[in-house]
Amino acid sequence: MANLPSNPALRRTLSLAPALGIIGIFMLIPVGIIAVFSFLEAKSFGGVVWSFSTDAYVQLLYERALDDSLILSPGYLIIIWRSFLLAGIAMLCCLVVGFPVAYFISRQPLQHRNMWILLITIPFWTNQLVRTFAWIIILGRNGIIEAPFHWVGILGSDDTLGLMYSNFAIAVGLTYTFIPLMVLPIYASLEKLDFTLVEAAADLYSSKWEAFSKVIIPLSKPGIIAGCLLVFIPSLGAFIQPDLLGGGKNMMLGTLVQFQFSTARNWPFGAAIAMILLAAVVIFLMIYARAARGQQKMELH
Partner 1 sequence: MAAIEHSKPKKRRAFGEVPGLGALAIAFMMFLYLPILVLVVYSFNAGNIVMVWTGFSTDWYARAFANEDIRKAAINSLVVATSATAIATTCATLAALALARGGSFKGKGATVGVITLPLMVPEIVTAVAMLVFFSNIGLNFGLGNVILAHVTFCIPFAFMPIRARLDGMDTTLEQASRDLYASDWETFRLVTLPQLMPGVLAGAMLSFVISMDDFIITLMVAGAGDTTLPVYIYSMIRQGITPEINAVSSILLLFSIVLVTAYWFVTRTKPDGKNR
Give the footprint of partner 1 on residues 259-288 (CB under 8 A).
261-262, 267, 270-271, 274, 277-278, 281, 285
> In Å, how far are 156, 179, 210, 240, 243 from 165, measured between CA atoms?
19, 21, 42, 13, 9
240 binds partner 1 (CB under 8 A): yes
181 binds partner 1 (CB under 8 A): no
Closest distance between partner 1 and the C-beta of residue 189, in Å?
A: 16
195 binds partner 1 (CB under 8 A): yes
Closest distance between partner 1 and the C-beta of residue 70, in Å?
A: 26
Position among 241, 258, 269, 272 found at the interface with partner 1 (CB under 8 A): 258
Question: 61 or 145, CB closer to partner 1?
Answer: 145
Position among 49, 78, 134, 287 found at the interface with partner 1 (CB under 8 A): 134
3 binds partner 1 (CB under 8 A): yes
Residues 13-42 that bind partner 1 (CB under 8 A): 13, 15-16, 18-20, 22-24, 26-31, 33-34, 37
DSSP string across 216-285: IHHHTHHHHHHHHHHHHHHHHT--HHIIIIITTTS--HHHHHHHHHHTS--HHHHHHHHHHHHHHHHHHH
Contact 235, 174 (CB under 8 A): yes
Residues 41-80 that bind partner 1 (CB under 8 A): none
* Partners of 40 in beta bridges: 52
- List the beta strands (DSSP E) in the chain: 40-42, 48-52, 62-64, 70-72
